[in-house]
Amino acid sequence: MVATFPLGDLSVHRVGYGAMQLPGPGVMGPPRDRDAAIAVLRRAVELGVDHIDTAQFYGPDVSNELIHAALHPYPDDLVLVSKVGAFRDEAGAWLPGQRPDQLRSGVEDNLRSLGVEQLGAVNLRLHDGGGHGEDQQVALEDQLAEMVALREEGKIAGVGISTATPAQVQQAIDQAGVVCVQNAFSLVDQSDADVLDLCVEHGIAYVPYFPLGSAFPGTPKVVDDPAVQAVAARTGATPAQVGLAWLLAHRPNVLLIPGTSSTAHLEENLAVADLQLTEEDLAELERGR
The structural domains of the chain, with segments of one domain joined by +, span: 4-219+252-274
The confidence score (pLDDT) of residue 136 equals 83
Contact 201, 181 (CB under 8 A): no
Of residues 202, 217, 160, the one with CA closest to residue 183: 160
Helix pair angle (239-250, 263-270), 10° resolution = 40
Query: SS3 of 79, please?
Result: strand
In this structure, which amino acid lies at residue 106?
Answer: G
* Nearest alpha-carbon partner for 60 in 81, 83, 42, 44: 83
- Cβ(62)–Cβ(25) below 8 Å: no
Its pTM surpasses 0.85: yes
Task: Identify the bridge partners of residue 227 per DSSP, sorted by sequence position.
Answer: none
pLDDT score at 132: 64
For 16, phi then psi, to 5°, come to: -115, -150
- What does the pLDDT read at residue 214? 86
**pLDDT in tens for each of the 289 residues of the chain?**
779 999 999 999 999 999 999 999 999 999 999 999 999 999 999 999 999 999 999 999 999 999 999 999 999 999 999 999 999 998 889 999 999 999 999 999 999 999 999 999 999 999 875 556 677 889 999 999 999 999 999 999 999 999 999 999 999 999 999 999 999 999 999 999 999 999 999 999 999 999 999 878 888 999 999 999 999 999 999 999 999 999 999 999 999 999 999 999 999 999 999 999 999 999 999 997 7
pLDDT at residue 265, rounded to an integer = 97
Cα Rg of the chain, angstroms: 18
What pLDDT, on a 0 to 100 scale, did the predictor assign at position 38? Answer: 98
**Known catalytic membership, residue 209:** no
Closest of 34, 102, 125, 112 to residue 80, by C-alpha: 112
User: Superfamily for 4-219+252-274?
Assistant: NADP-dependent oxidoreductase domain (3.20.20.100)
| Among 58, 74, 206, 209, the one annotated catalytic | 58
73: which residues sit within 8 A by CB, 6+ positions away?
none
Identify the helix (H) or strand (E) that includes residue 282. Answer: helix 279-286
